[in-house]
Amino acid sequence: MRSRIKVGVVLSNKKKNNRFTIKMQKKLVVLFGVVLLAFVGLSYRLFIITRDNGERYKKQVLSQQRYDSTTLPYKRGSILDTNGSILASSEKVYNVILDAVAVSRDESYLEPTLEALRNQIGIDVSSVRSYIAANAETSRYYVLARRLEFEQIKGLMELIGEENSLVQGIWFEDEYKRSYPGGSLACDVIGFTTSDNVGSYGLEEYYNDVLSGTPGREYGYLNGDSNVERTTIPAVDGNSLVTTIDINIQGIVEKYLKKFDEEFRDGFHEGNGANNVGAIIMDVNSGEVLAMASYPGFDLNDTRNLSALIGMPILDEEGKRTGEYVTEENLHLLEDDSNAMYRQLNALWKNFCISETYEPGSVSKPMTVAAGIESGSITGNEKYNCEGKLEIGGYPIRCHNTWGDGSLSIAEGIERSCNVNMMYVASATGIETFTEFQHIFNFGLKTNIDLAGELRTDTLIYTKDTMHATELATCSFGQGYNCTMIQMMSAFCSLINGGYYYEPHIVKKIVSPSGATVQNIEPRILRQTISETTSDKVREMCNLVVSGEKGTGKTARPAGYMIGGKTGTAQTVPRSAKEYVLSFLGYAPADNPQIAIYVVVDRPNVDNRVMDDAKYATKIVRNILTEVLPYMGIYMTEELSEEEIEELNALQVEIMTPPEPAEGEGTEQDEPEGNEGEGEGAGEDTGEDPGEEEPERSEPWKDFPIDPETGYAVDPDTGNFVDPVTGAVLGLSFEGESTGGESLPEEGTSPSPGA
């Protein structure tokens, strides 16, 4: 009975299970159909999206994928001298980068990596260990060291490259560092770059776009298959500059500027040998600058070294001199005051030859004469009487020789640097013509030399509407208007090369990274200032400044050579301080000028009673030309004394005597242009009766006692120092060759614009 009941229950359960299974199967079929229809619908929708919007969504997806980008640095172009020597270049350096995530992946990496950093590049591993511990999961870029050279990282690179190396998480980032092999050589010309590779001052700034290249890019991203895809756009290096600078000439110039400083440093007061000393050497027939320098200079590889400031005048907030000088004792005050420090550094970095103005003094007298001759106002054969001063506009304007030079031809006026003579010339020329020629000689305008920082001077000269008789008189000998060294040099070259004004330039060629010439920069004549005939006359007059018996520039002549030129001494503002800017502007050789040289000494560190003496500049010129002329292969034309031969041998300077001419042949030196050293007019027909002699002028200074310490004569009546050769009274006037102390009013009422 029980067994039948049990069998019946089992059969009943089987029937129930069969009914559930069939029902579920039907539901599953229905569900499958629904899913299938949905899938078909989604597939169709995806097809529509892909067909109509696929490209847009593809870009959107790619933009959201993980990728990285690395900047590839370009190499800044080099700066070369005229012979191909490197003045500035860019060297590859390396930044050491730490990937804290990578070095933390395995405990075995940490200690070997830290040990390698300590031993190979001297890293403080304690700070690195702390950084890794704090950033083990987040930091993939941390700079451990910057701008290391290859030799410094070579060992670390080798350890990282070893098979199964435990030194992990270290990689190297390429960069370029600007290098200046000459240190301070031509620092004013070259300029330097900032930390972000942008040029400051000089050629680096002026040609920044030329020297700069274009950075490259390396892109990396993960594609749809999770593979890294990379695209590289290479960097384009910058072009290079070939300059007109000759580093051998530049080095000679800088050597003698430094020698001057060493001689006069801390002489009358603490400080450099002068506030500034500048020098330019230029090819007179092209405008190419062969050398340009000023003192003090600075190391281009260490531009913020404050020790270079020692000896400079301290500037106030307005950039004016305070009367104090930077010393080792007060240097810390600059370190504590960033504004004062940058004021001083900017003054150091500026190029004195193009960025500072001053009253040029008597170096401008040849231009006064040239304007008069070229305009037809004078013939150049006139004579004027100098009685020691001339009253114009109510002001007695003195000559350097307070006893008077007597009747002088214009050539003698240039030779002796007579102010009265020049005032008569300017008066004959007239205000309108005089100011017109100042514009022709480019005063008041930029020369457009290819250097950053050239100063505008349009507000520092007179116009025909602002000039009056007194201003005309003072401007005739270079007081009352301001100019820059490069303006005066460029104008003077046109006086002696036939009248051609060349635009001064420093760069003669731009070269691509592959060495191909991108651009040749040819000499550019801007205008003809005077005729060749006038140029010849002015050059003969300037020759007398050096060769004439009473020439003021005799001490500029180097042994074995004859040169021409003009001295200058200009009194600075305030006039009461009796401080001076001394200069010599010359050329060589005298009969066929090839180069011009201009040296300016701004307030030498000496007693102002003897400051107004152009010899501070002429002696620098002599030293420079003694070495430069033989280097350039220019032959000597003058006999050498035993003393000069000993001097040249001591300097190890080659005695450049010309080769012997073949029999029956002459040389260019056989018949020089003009009769140098023969007195007035240098061989010109002056229109005077040669049998009629001028009465001799009194020269009382020749009987004055000589001060043994300075070598100057001393006027027993006044105590003033007097040049024993020319009779110039020192410490009295605008110039040692110029106007007297009572000639013009002091600052505040001075007619000088911008002075």
Using CA atoms, how far apart are residues 305 and 637, in angstroms rounded to an integer?
A: 46
Six token digits for residue 633: 């292969």
Question: Residue 613 gets which letter from DSSP?
Answer: -
Using CA atoms, how far apart are residues 214 and 237, in angstroms rounded to an integer?
A: 7
**Lowest mean per-residue pLDDT among 5-9, 207-211, 294-298, 664-668:** 664-668
Q: Inter-axis angle of helices 247-264 and 615-631, to 10 degrees?
A: 150
- The predicted structure's pLDDT at residue 696: 54
- The predicted structure's pLDDT at residue 742: 30
pLDDT in tens, 229-255: 678 888 999 999 999 999 999 999 999
Six token digits for residue 212: 């700069």
On the question of pLDDT at 405 being above 90, the answer is: no
- The predicted structure's pLDDT at residue 668: 42
Instruction: Check: CB of residue 400 under 8 Å from CB of residue 417.
Output: yes
pLDDT in tens, 119-147: 999 888 888 898 988 888 888 889 999 88
- The predicted structure's pLDDT at residue 12: 52
* Adjacent-strand bridge partners of 636: none
Phi, psi (degrees; rounded to nearest 5) at 215 = -65, 150
Instruction: Check: CB of residue 437 under 8 Å from CB of residue 482.
Output: no
430: which residues sit within 8 A by CB, 6+ positions away?
377
Using CA atoms, how far apart are residues 545 and 412, in angstroms rounded to an integer?
A: 9
Could you tell me which residue, 718 or 473, shows the higher pLDDT?
473
Strands 395-398 and 79-80: unpaired
Query: Amino acid identity, residue 149?
Result: E
How would you class 331 by CB atoms within 10 Å of its CB: exposed for 0-12, middle for 13-18, buried for 19 or more?
middle
* Adjacent-strand bridge partners of 177: 91
Total-model pTM: 0.82
On the question of pLDDT at 753 being above 60, the answer is: no
Instruction: Check: CB of residue 581 under 8 Å from CB of residue 362.
Output: no
pLDDT in tens, 477-532: 999 999 999 999 999 999 999 999 999 999 999 999 999 999 999 999 999 999 99
- The predicted structure's pLDDT at residue 439: 96
Instruction: Check: CB of residue 296 under 8 Å from CB of residue 302.
Output: no
- The predicted structure's pLDDT at residue 438: 96
Could you tell me which residue, 667 or 436, shows the higher pLDDT?
436
Six token digits for residue 300: 């281009």
Phi, psi (degrees; rounded to nearest 5) at 406 = 75, -155
Using CA atoms, how far apart are residues 414 and 585, in angstroms rounded to an integer?
A: 13
Six token digits for residue 725: 């050769």
Could you tell me which residue, 72 or 596, shows the higher pLDDT?
596
Q: What is the mean pLDDT of residues 269-283?
A: 96
- The predicted structure's pLDDT at residue 68: 60
On the question of pLDDT at 683 being above 60, the answer is: no
- The predicted structure's pLDDT at residue 62: 47
Average pLDDT, the chain: 85
Q: How far is CA 135 from CA 69, 113, 267, 419, in A?
A: 22, 16, 61, 79
Q: What is the mean pLDDT of residues 320-324?
A: 88
677: which residues sit within 8 A by CB, 6+ positions away?
544, 547, 548, 549
Distance of CA 56 to the CA centre of its chain: 55
Instruction: Check: CB of residue 730 under 8 Å from CB of residue 568.
Output: no
- The predicted structure's pLDDT at residue 670: 41
- The predicted structure's pLDDT at residue 647: 87
Please choose, from the candidates 473, 438, 472, 476, the residue with its C-alpha nearest in 3D space to the C-alpha of residue 458.
Answer: 438
Tell me what percent of the residues of the chain surpass a pLDDT of 90: 56
Q: What is the mean pLDDT of residues 63-78?
A: 73
pLDDT class of 152 with cuts at 50, 70, 90: very high
pLDDT in tens, 343-395: 999 999 999 999 999 999 999 999 999 999 999 999 999 999 999 899 998 88
Could you tell me which residue, 25 or 1, shows the higher pLDDT?
25
How would you class 674 by CB atoms within 10 Å of its CB: exposed for 0-12, middle for 13-18, buried for 19 or more?
buried
Q: Inter-axis angle of helices 615-631 and 642-651, to 10 degrees?
A: 70
Query: Amino acid identity, residue 417?
Result: S
Instruction: Check: CB of residue 581 under 8 Å from CB of residue 260.
Output: no
